[in-house]
Chain A
């Protein structure tokens, strides 16, 4: 019951939070120099043409009127149109956001498995070689740029070994994409029973997921390691040792107490990677939402940018609400 009231409370706050985010993003995007009308018409445009296009786009109105019109359209489900793709932003994002989400989710799963496992080993055997390897791993992974690492993986696994497919998107050219249910290829191909497409999608996911997963395992590893070390030195862990609790159980109990910190960093990474995966998306021609937004920024195409901000803000807010619920479930001291 208290979970439901807590949820209702948080969802109520989502509306003003979203409004604030949209307002700030709108003002920021509008303050970037660059006239969309000029960019759209090109260098040979006449001032008259530019002026009439500005009028059509509503760019001659005062800022608060533009914002009011934007919000009104939002409430009708109209996120504007991208002048680059000439399609409604909503349609573009519905197609692209799941691509990014699928990539980021699978990468995060890899990162969690690698990071938590290595972190656990490093904390329970501090003098072993895994601990030393983990230190090196955390250090190097923080220093490597993700697009460079992606290129290295492509070179090794595609160019040299030929194991991975060409980095040209999510599916082989000859495969027909399945009907879009969730937008995630792994799910949609299975739903359609198309195992060949499933295999193709998986093979194309392999390298980008490996890139993002291995690189983002670093902070998860470090957080797991340091939190576990603290837990294992705490009073209650030492008391369990005094009571003769076997080592496996002591570690399990310590991990249970360390989970809030680990969950925190995972949630932060999740929100970050939605936009942070953009360089990997570009290297692999992924057709993701981050790419879309960056193109929008570079070309003063503001609606894709604002649309992306809206989508990723909603996503982050949901993630944080879920994480807060997990805290309440994990720690009996937070409830009243």
Chain B
């Protein structure tokens, strides 16, 4: 799907990921496609269960436990990385493509000091020796603004606070100067002030290193401030994709409107768009997956999957009846 004329840095095409279910497989990602331009920050907003972490990890070829990549391609530097043998793919991960994970204290190795873990990235991917890697790790810890970096080098993950552990994980993701960073909900679970610090840190480092970023979040407000373009993910499908101003000034998809309304300060607006709880969400084959929660749904919405149409230049929405702002 043509979005811009320049060649994208990374292109995800028709990615399908399924998980085993009670009777049949459950499709968590349904033919997701997106591209990220060099140097761009693409935001991805979605609620819990939309498939954000599945997408983040599947792009790197490691879907969450028991998940399986059923179809699709991830084109990076001219090749489909999902076709690569595992050792080849591991050379790319961490060095050219990296990920910042949420809940870092659970993800870091509990029996290794954080300094060793950061240095290990440099040693594995850049081939530097132990002393050089330790120097690089220390420099990286300073770059992520950890107080007293020399002492923190020898700390274990369980001795760090959430914010500090998050900075460690960011250091690990950036130390090899990747071309593309996926930030998966990197600021959830942190205090608001720490969130703001981490965000500005991430943005600054990405700009310094010239990396592109896929910034995944549940908070549409953060996406508003931080990203160049924003995509909205619902139930494993991209529902809307637009440049930042377009999305927030002229949202087209009813789900986007509901998200924006939910964050709104006006109680009248919130009530107008409030929908029934996410309880029974049946997966309808062939229809729009948002149809059973959509206040604007028509009969045709349950029959045909809406195409991902370009309603304005650079602004796409998957809806039979996108909201018009004329």
Interface residues of A (CB under 8 A from B): 233, 235-236, 238-247, 249, 253, 256-257, 330-333
Listed residue (B57, B87, B107) with the most chain A CB atoms within 10 angstroms of its CB? B107
Within 8 A of A (CB), among B76-102: 86-87, 89-95, 98-99, 101
* Contact residue among B65, B91, B106, B109 (Cβ-Cβ distance under 8 Å from A244): B91
- Taking a contact as CB atoms under 8 Å apart, the answer to whether A332 and B111 are in contact is yes
Q: Which of B117-125, B140-148, B295-303, B306-314 contacts A (4 or more CB under 8 A)?
A: B117-125
Report the interface size for chain B: residues with CB under 8 A from the other chain: 31
Cα–Cα distance between A322 and B277 once the two chains are bound (Å): 57
Within 8 A of A (CB), among B99-152: 99, 101, 103, 106-112, 120-121, 124-125
Q: Given A243-B172, A244-B90, A244-B125, do A236 and B62 touch, yes or no (CB 8 Å)?
A: no
**For residue B121, which residues in chain A have a CB less than 8 angstroms away from its CB?**
243
The distance from the CB of B210 to the nearest CB of chain A, in whole angstroms, is: 20
Q: Please list the 8 inter-chain residue pairs (A to B) with the smallest Cβ-Cβ separation, ordered nearest first.
A: A244-B93, A244-B94, A243-B94, A239-B107, A244-B90, A332-B156, A236-B109, A235-B106
Q: Given A238-B62, A241-B62, do A246 and B90 touch, yes or no (CB 8 Å)?
A: yes
- Taking a contact as CB atoms under 8 Å apart, the answer to whether A235 and B112 are in contact is no
Chain A at the B interface: SS class: helix
User: In this complex, what residue of B is CB-closest to A332?
Assistant: B156
- Taking a contact as CB atoms under 8 Å apart, the answer to whether B106 and A236 are in contact is yes
User: In this complex, what residue of A is CB-closest to B108?
Assistant: A236
Name 13 A/B residue pairs within 8 A (Cβ), A-sorted. A236-B106, A236-B108, A236-B109, A238-B62, A240-B109, A242-B99, A243-B121, A245-B94, A247-B86, A253-B109, A332-B110, A332-B111, A333-B110
- Decide yes or no whether B60 CB sits under 8 A from chain A: yes
Cα–Cα distance between A257 and B157 once the two chains are bound (Å): 14
Listed residue (B91, B93, B125) with the most chain A CB atoms within 10 angstroms of its CB? B93
The distance from the CB of A291 to the nearest CB of chain B, in whole angstroms, is: 42
**For residue A245, which residues in chain B have a CB less than 8 angstroms away from its CB?**
90, 94, 120, 124
Listed residue (A233, A238, A244, A253) with the most chain B CB atoms within 10 angstroms of its CB? A244
The distance from the CB of B286 to the nearest CB of chain A, in whole angstroms, is: 35
**For residue A235, which residues in chain B have a CB less than 8 angstroms away from its CB?**
103, 106-107
- Taking a contact as CB atoms under 8 Å apart, the answer to whether B158 and A246 are in contact is no
Q: Given A236-B107, A333-B156, do A244 and B124 touch, yes or no (CB 8 Å)?
A: yes
Cα–Cα distance between A130 and B13 once the two chains are bound (Å): 38
